[in-house]
Structure formats: structure tokens, C-alpha cells
């Protein structure tokens, strides 16, 4: 995302587009239930008692900023099952909270769209304090953080209290010329990655999230072009290097690198970002093709921490890809 999103956002002109309603297109059994007009397939489990519903198949949401699309794919069928609509313009990073609500960093409109679980349209729009929100993340208590990639004119991270549409604080740093992705840990601390003025990769730490007042540079080495970012249940930090299609794991309380996880990508393709799932045993990676604005992108499910070979692939995605998230969410 780091090398590609800014130029694409400047040409995006899809504000106000409304895609098809949020449809669950996977085969629905007679036991399907209806919530707010949305058919939600359920499964029956004799292990949990006769007729007991169990968690539905995972949905993988992928965003394409240039094309103005956020589409959800069934992990079971690898087919589209959800289309998010509303005033989408340059959708970038995506986040899913513990309740299954979906947040989309709407870069072309300088806001964040909030979609309740299983809804096709946003019911809340968070006003961004800056331009080009590149990612959004949600804390265990519902606080929301939004990174703004506005190199040279005020890159920052803005914080919102649960349920509110206006930020109560924004934090910037002279180290970060650009900000890309963000992530919360289990106790509400916030991490952010980005670049300095010379293109060097950095990862920052904000103690207490919105309760903090500054970004501490973790002085992490070994990253060429920082992209996706996640915090594991152990507290260790995962930073994706777009330049080498690798994920680097760093110890929580230091900048010591623990391991490098290689992901598989064709020549001239790049991995934009990733999302963990299934108790940190799997991840989904968004892979963009070299052409851009074509249907040469794909999402692949990889074992974690082994990384390769991919287990499943969703092909034919519009590029460049800018965000990926999985519901049910796999959070620390």
C-alpha cells in the first residue's frame, strides 16, 4: 500500500457510489434466520445440542481504493457473499471488531465508515481530522484509531471514543512523514507503522492508545517498506515488508527480531497487507498484481507461522488492494 495508495486516491472519483446490498449468497439452509432483512445462514450441530447454531463461515473482506470497492468472500466457497455500499470513496484499511462490526478507512472522503455486523450500509460515519485515512483499528474497549497518510502536510493518528464520530485527540511525530497501518494490543496500547522523510521504515508505540500523548519510535531494523501490522496474543509485533513479501516478528518489549516469515508471491507482485485468523494459525494476505486497476490481484490463505505454501486462493480481485480483514475477528 505504501507505494501505491496516494497516487490512486488523488484520481478516485467514486464518492457517493452505492454497491449492491449486503447479500449472503452462500447456500442457506431452511434453518437460516433473518435479521434486519439480511438472511444469515446457520449450521446445525448435534455436538452442541439439537438445532444449536454454530458460528457461520468466515468472511474475508478486501478493499480496492482505486475501484471504490469493499467485497466480502466466503472462506468456504471463495465466492463473493457481501458487498458494502454507501458513500465509499477510496476505501483503504479495514478492521473488524469483536462484535463483527466492520470499519472502513474511506480515504477519498476523509472519513471512516461503520457497518454493523451483517449490514450492507454504514450507520455511522466518523469524521476524520485529516486527509487520506489509510487504516483503522479498534481496541478491546471499543476505542477507534485512524492513521492518516498525508506525507509532508500532517501525517497523524486520530483517536475516537467508542460510539463517537469526532476524534478527541490526534498525535503526530517528526519521525513519521507518512503513516500506514495501525493495531491495538490486548491492553489498549497502539502501534503504527510508516516512513520517515527519506523513505525509511518505522514502527511507533503509543502507550495507552488515546490516553497517550506521544509516539515512541521502536527503532526496528530489517524492514524495507513497512505495510501490514498486527499484534499477537503474546504481545509480539508482526510487521509486513512489502518490498520482500515477508512478515517480521519482533519481541513485545524490545526491538529484537524473533523470526522472518516468507510469503509466496509471483514475480512483480507485492503483498499489501494481511490478517490473522483461527487462533493465529492462519493468515489471509492481499496480493496485488503489477498492472494495477486490473483483475490480477488475489487473496491467499497461508499457514502461520510457516507462511508457505498457500492453502486457498481467491483470484480475480481488482487491484491495487489496500486492506483485508476477517470476520470473525482474530484479536489479541
Kindly report which listed range (31-40, 83-92, 267-276, 283-292) carries the lowest average pLDDT score. 31-40
Strand partners, 284: 275, 301
Q: How confident is the model at residue 309 (pLDDT cuts 50, 70, 90)?
A: confident
User: How far apart are the C-alpha atoms of 285 and 127, rounded to whole Å?
Assistant: 29
pLDDT tens digit sequence for 282-305: 999 999 887 666 778 899 999 998
| Sign of the dihedral defined by the CA atoms of residues 106, 329, 157, 251, in that order | negative
Collapsing DSSP states into helix, strand and coil, what is residue 7? Answer: helix
Q: In what order do the strands lie in the sheet with 321-327?
A: 80-83, 69-74, 59-64, 321-327
pLDDT at 153: 65
**Residues present in the chain in total:** 332
Cell triple for residue 56? 457461520
User: How far apart are the C-alpha atoms of 90 and 1, rounded to whole Å?
Assistant: 12
Of the candidates 234, 232, 165, 237, the residue with the CA atom closest to the CA atom of residue 204? 237
| Sign of the dihedral defined by the CA atoms of residues 174, 176, 179, 181, in that order | negative
pLDDT at 148: 93
Kindly report which listed range (50-64, 164-178, 203-217) carries the lowest average pLDDT score. 50-64
**Residue 134 DSSP one-character state:** E
- Number of Cβ atoms within 10 Å of the Cβ of 9: 20
pLDDT at 253: 72
Q: How confident is the model at residue 214 (pLDDT cuts 50, 70, 90)?
A: very high
What percent of the chain shows pLDDT beyond 70? 81
Cell triple for residue 20? 449492491
User: How far apart are the C-alpha atoms of 228 and 73, rounded to whole Å?
Assistant: 20
Q: Is the pLDDT of residue 11 over 60?
A: no
DSSP of 125-177: EEEPSSS-EEEEEE-TTS-EEEEE--TTS--EEEEE-TT-SB-SEEE--TT-S
Q: Is the pLDDT of residue 20 over 70?
A: no
pLDDT at 307: 80
Average pLDDT, the chain: 81
Calculate mean pLDDT across residues 119-139.
91
Task: Please answer whether residues 191 and 183 qualify as being in contact, where contact means their C-beta atoms are separated by less than 8 angstroms.
Answer: yes
User: How far apart are the C-alpha atoms of 219 and 95, rounded to whole Å?
Assistant: 26
pLDDT at 12: 29
Set out the domains of the chain in order of their start, with CATH numbers. Answer: 5-327 (2.120.10.30)
User: How far apart are the C-alpha atoms of 308 and 324, rounded to whole Å?
Assistant: 19
User: How far apart are the C-alpha atoms of 233 and 281, rounded to whole Å?
Assistant: 12
Choice between 278 and 151, residue whose per-residue pLDDT is larger: 278
Cell triple for residue 146? 485512524
User: How far apart are the C-alpha atoms of 67 and 253, rounded to whole Å?
Assistant: 40
Choice between 221 and 205, residue whose per-residue pLDDT is larger: 205
pLDDT at 67: 84
pLDDT at 330: 78
pLDDT tens digit sequence for 87-105: 999 999 999 999 999 999 9
Residue 80 vs residues 33, 76, 262: alpha-carbon distances, Å: 20, 11, 28
Task: Please answer whether residues 210 and 168 qualify as being in contact, where contact means their C-beta atoms are separated by less than 8 angstroms.
Answer: yes
Calculate mean pLDDT across residues 270-292.
87
pLDDT tens digit sequence for 144-158: 999 998 755 679 999
Kindly report which listed range (6-20, 139-153, 189-203, 213-227) carries the lowest average pLDDT score. 6-20
pLDDT at 56: 66
pLDDT at 293: 61
Record the pTM: 0.83
Q: Is the pLDDT of residue 179 over 70?
A: yes
Of the candidates 226, 257, 328, 325, the residue with the CA atom closest to the CA atom of residue 285? 325
User: How far apart are the C-alpha atoms of 35 and 101, rounded to whole Å?
Assistant: 14
- Number of Cβ atoms within 10 Å of the Cβ of 249: 18
Strand partners, 324: 62
Amino acid at each position: 500500500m505504501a507505494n501505491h495508495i496516494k497516487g490512486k486516491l488523488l484520481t478516485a472519483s467514486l464518492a457517493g457510489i452505492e454497491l449492491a446490498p449486503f447479500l449472503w449468497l452462500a447456500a442457506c439452509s431452511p434453518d437460516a434466520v433473518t435479521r434486519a432483512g439480511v438472511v444469515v445462514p446457520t449450521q446445525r450441530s448435534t455436538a452442541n445440542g439439537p438445532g444449536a447454531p454454530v458460528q457461520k463461515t468466515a468472511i474475508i473482506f478486501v478493499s480496492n481504493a482505486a475501484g471504490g470497492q469493499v467485497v466480502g468472500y466466503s472462506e468456504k466457497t471463495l465466492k463473493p457473499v457481501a458487498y458494502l455500499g454507501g458513500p465509499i470513496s477510496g476505501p483503504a484499511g479495514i478492521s473488524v471488531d469483536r462484535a463483527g462490526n466492520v470499519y472502513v478507512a474511506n480515504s477519498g472522503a476523509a472519513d471512516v465508515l461503520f457497518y454493523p455486523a451483517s449490514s450492507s450500509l454504514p450507520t455511522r460515519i466518523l469524521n476524520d481530522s485529516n486527509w487520506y485515512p489509510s487504516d483503522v483499528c479498534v481496541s478491546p474497549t471499543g476505542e477507534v484509531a485512524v492513521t492518516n497518510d498525508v506525507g509532508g502536510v500532517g501525517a497523524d493518528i486520530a483517536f475516537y471514543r467508542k460510539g463517537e464520530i469526532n476524534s478527541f485527540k490526534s498525535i503526530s511525530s517528526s519521525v513519521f512523514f507518512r503513516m500506514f497501518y495501525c493495531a491495538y494490543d490486548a491492553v489498549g496500547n497502539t502501534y503504527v507503522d510508516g516512513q520517515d522523510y527519506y523513505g525509511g521504515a518505522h514502527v511507533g508505540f503509543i502507550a495507552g492508545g488515546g490516553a497517550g500523548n506521544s509516539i515512541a519510535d521502536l527503532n526496528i531494523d530489517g524492514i524495507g517498506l513497512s505495510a501490514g501490522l498486527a499484534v499477537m496474543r503474546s504481545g509480539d509485533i508482526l510487521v509486513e515488508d512489502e518490498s520482500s513479501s515477508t512478515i517480521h516478528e519482533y519481541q513485545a518489549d524490545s526491538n529484537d527480531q524473533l523470526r522472518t516469515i516468507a510469503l509466496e508471491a509471483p514475480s512483480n507482485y507485492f503483498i499489501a497487507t494481511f490478517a490473522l485468523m483461527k487462533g493465529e494459525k492462519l493468515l489471509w494476505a492481499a496480493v496485488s498484481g503489477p498492472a494495477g486497476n486490473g483483475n490480477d490481484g488475489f487473496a491467499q490463505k497461508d499457514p502461520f507461522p510457516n507462511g508457505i505454501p498457500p492453502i486457498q486462493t481467491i483470484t480475480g480481485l481488482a487491484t491495487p488492494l489496500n486492506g483485508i480483514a476477517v470476520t470473525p475477528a482474530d484479536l489479541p
